[in-house]
Structure 1
Amino acid sequence: MRINGSNQPNFNPYKNIVKKQAEVKREINKQDQIEISKEAKQLQESERPNEKRAEYVQSIKNLVQSGEYKVDSEKVAKK
């Protein structure tokens, strides 16, 4: 009867530990990357306020803050 002990040439108990450490080092060296699709870029462009609209809103804000803004009750009633 022949018994093969732990002195086999293929047997290395630390092999798995070394592999895991190498994998962890590879993961640490990875850099985050982001890729934005064309559709997402178009959505970002559409979310930007229109310059004319922004000026109009700012003028109304200024009138409200100064107390000069008047509400047309007839227009409100029609809507």
Structure 2
Amino acid sequence: MKINPYGNIQNIYKKSIEKQQPKADVSKKADKLEISTEAKLMQQETRISTERKEKVEQLKAQVQSGEYKVNPQEVAKKFYEFWNE
């Protein structure tokens, strides 16, 4: 009786499985991506997004120049409303 080392164990069933399964030609396949019309519409800039960008730019300028002041009472009020309502 011959004992094969673990590294050289050959699976006799592997060859029959390979014969049964045809190999796919990978070079003929390609990925395809389609974007729906709804997604395309969502990507377009809207009036709201342009207004939001303008507001953000104004706030950035105020923060950088030191003109932006935070009202601590309003902040506390909003926190209270959020956690208690």
TM-score, L = length of structure 2: 0.45
Greater helix proportion: 2
Larger Cα-atom Rg = 1
Q: TM-score, normalised by structure 1?
A: 0.48
